[in-house]
Structure 1
Amino acid sequence: MEHLFYQIALTKIPKVGPVTARTLVSYCGSPQEVFLSSTKSLLKIPGIGGQLTQQIKSEEPLRAAEKELLHLEKQNIAALFYLDEHYPSRLKHYPDSPLIVYHKGSSNLNASRIVAIVGTRKPTVQGTTFCEEFLEQIAPYEPLIISGLAYGIDICAHRKALELKLPTVGVLAHGLAHLYPPTHRSVAQRMLENGGIITEYGFETNAEKEHFPLRNRIIAGMCDALLVVETARYGGSIITANFANEYNKDVFAVPGRVKDPFSAGCNELIKNNQAHLLESAEDLVRMLRWDLGAFRYGVQQQLFTELSVEEKNIVNLLRHDEEKDIDALTYLSQKSNSEMATLLLELEFKGVIRALPGKRYVLV
């Protein structure tokens, strides 16, 4: 509990974001040592000036952390620090990922398959129908479905996932004391039983306009693939797609009529090669190679196996550690999830690597 206290306190220092906080932990050794370090030691850290040092040495972050801990205990909320085992592994490799994620519910945030679904808040009947049909088609693969609990496509995805008994997680732009929009409270309550809600914001933090774009980076970072169902050229869904592309995620968009404003954003993503055109769940399954995921072939490693340059890069990454998960390999090699899945499968076929539980890989 003491470790958690200082981890939370680190997030309560004014004007200290994820990047600066990681720098402090890196130089000091732990969140606790950040607060125990002398003023002289803190001033030696690059980018940490006198004003920030004063804020670190004040009592306010510690008092705020104490208050936050009381809320966590009373509301049965888990606080996952970025170095914790249960922190979303797909998210933790990015420098701007949250220092702490607050999670309420029963979901495994490191499920083997995660699909994010976003879209307009005012969808057409065709848009909601497509979203529901997509989830019906993808249900046999049992993915975790994540979205933002907003009006429109978001809530459609959550409700249908619950109907299909698929785990579903809502990423919020405020603390867990609130729920925006409040009309979705009953859905959020049901999600706690098979999924949950998460946020990077402290318990009593209100929903602010600037929080929503930041929330979208979590949706993008946590998934294997992002699906955009109906969106205009500007808005939250496009921001999420941009984050997903920056994170080398597989982005899919549902095409629409040329002059349909509800499809303008999707069409533009496809036209600019920022999203794969998706007509059904089969397109996503094929791209991510989920259809081949169940088939593993025991192939003896051949002497002098010919490897491509990309395959050799993966082998070199695995030589530095005994094992790595697919998310670390994807981040380090700057490949999309589907590209990495294809390369790993080829290396398995050649008998060069072996898959372990939890999407981890080792050299044979």
Structure 2
Amino acid sequence: MTSTHARLALNLLPKIGPIRVQRLLEVFGTPEDILRAKASDIQQIDGFGNDLASTIAHWKKHIDLDRELRRIQEENLTLVTPEDSVYPDLLSEIHDPPLLLYVRGQITERDRHAVSIVGVRNATAYGLATAKKLAFQLAQAGYTIISGLARGIDTAAHEGALAAKGRTIAVIGSGHAKLYPPENAALAERIAESGAVVSEYPVDYPPDKTTFPQRNRIVSGWSSGTIVVEAALRSGSLITANQAMDQGRTVFAVPGNIDRPSSHGCNHLIQQGAKLVQDASDILEEFNVLPLNIISSADAPHGGHRPDLSEQEAVVHSALSTDELHINEIALATNLPIGTVSTTLMKLEMKSLVRALPGKFYVRLV
């Protein structure tokens, strides 16, 4: 039996879980050795009574490992474990990292640089637009966007990253064959084509009231920071934010209308010290990094970086100067439509080449 198959077996066993498996690994060394252990030896470990010890020692009576392996193949999934190089470093550092991840699509090294975006299911138009904008900007800057595939803010975040042709990962609170919500099945397929849909649950495990809060620790634990766009005072999004804080991650919140219940959670987070977010530059400044999708250049000032520019970006960039220019002046100078100029300026801003000023004025930084 391989280490991956042993982890899969442990993951299938009832009432075991990641924390108990970590204790077992400290004693027995490997997942394979855990499954070979005698019940009497397992009982010597604090927290393992007769029933748990017997379940582990006689694991073949409690699960059908061959069936699960067939279901994984039928669903075209792969398994990623902490022993694999692409298993996220940050996720491995949390208190209860998943034993393994069922993956549709592909996890890459680039996904180590990730930001999560979460919020309410019944989002306002403002919340949906904001989530999509932030995801678009951060994905263009090179970050992988993590969210939970739920209705509302999660969906908007995934859509924003896809629109930017960036990477996004959906962490679901069920097995892959029981995807929830079902209306997001097509979105999940699109995500898997360029990113990944992941779960820690067996293929046919249904969603319930416990799986989503459990799922949220992966969303926050995978990410350098968690952005809450809209949230009520009692919501799963605040659970995710609290888990992020417990995991030592930075929490960001988008302020909202004080009369709107869906803003109360975000405004409360800001009162408690979460970083107020207006656009992606607030997140990049907090991490004190330039966008990740840029390449080194010897002629960049102060040892900085210069990105590759599209022809359109180069035209707009060359029209700018260190003096303030209004967007209308830039449009006249480039002979481009105002909408095209606006989109291009946003891309240049995300590449740390341009700074937006109040009143739709812009200055060139590099």
| TM-score interval for Structure 1 and Structure 2 normalised by the shorter chain | 0.7 to 0.9
How much has 1:65 moved relative to structure 2? 2.1
Q: How many residues align?
A: 297
Residues 199-237 of structure 1, C-alpha deviations (whole Å, 9 max, x = no match): 110001001111111111110000111111111111111
Matching residue of 1:268 = 268
How much has 1:175 moved relative to structure 2? 0.3
Residues 102-137 of structure 1, C-alpha deviations (whole Å, 9 max, x = no match): 111023265242111111111111111222222333
Unaligned runs of 5+ in 2: 297-301, 305-366
How much has 1:260 moved relative to structure 2? 1.8
Residues 286-337 of structure 1, C-alpha deviations (whole Å, 9 max, x = no match): 0111228778969xxxxxxxxxxxxxxxxxxxxxxxxxxxxxxxxxxxxxxx
Matching residue of 2:287 = 288
Cα distance in 1 for partners of 2:104, 2:88 equals 14
Cα RMSD of the aligned pairs, angstroms, is: 2.1
Task: Answer whether contact 2:121 2:152 (CA < 8 A) is retained.
Answer: yes
Task: Answer whether contact 1:118 1:237 (CA < 8 A) is retained.
Answer: yes
Percent same amino acid at aligned positions?
Answer: 34
1:197 is aligned with what amino acid?
V
Matching residue of 2:347 = none
Task: Answer whether contact 2:134 2:160 (CA < 8 A) is retained.
Answer: no
- Deviating 4+ runs (over 4 angstroms): 292-298
Matching residue of 2:69 = 69
Residues 165-208 of structure 1, C-alpha deviations (whole Å, 9 max, x = no match): 11111110000112111111111111111111001100010011
Task: Answer whether contact 2:141 2:291 (CA < 8 A) is retained.
Answer: no
Cα distance in 1 for partners of 2:68, 2:146 equals 25
SS at match of 1:115: strand
Which is greater in Rg? 2
Matching residue of 1:190 = 190
Cα distance in 2 for partners of 1:161, 1:113 equals 14
Change over 3 Å in CA distance of 1:135–1:33 after alignment to 2: closer
Which deviates more from structure 2 when the two are superposed, residues 90-99 or residues 238-247? 90-99
Cα distance in 2 for partners of 1:23, 1:94 equals 15
SS at match of 1:46: coil
How much has 1:32 moved relative to structure 2? 1.1
TM-score (norm 2): 0.76
Matching residue of 2:277 = 278
Cα distance in 2 for partners of 1:130, 1:69 equals 41
Unaligned runs of 5+ in 1: 299-364
How much has 1:153 moved relative to structure 2? 0.7
Matching residue of 1:40 = 40
Matching residue of 2:5 = 5
Cα distance in 1 for partners of 2:70, 2:193 equals 23
SS at match of 2:108: coil
Change over 3 Å in CA distance of 1:25–1:66 after alignment to 2: farther
Task: Answer whether contact 1:6 1:65 (CA < 8 A) is retained.
Answer: no
Cα distance in 2 for partners of 1:61, 1:228 equals 44
TM-score (norm 1): 0.77
2:281 is aligned with what amino acid?
E
2:240 is aligned with what amino acid?
T
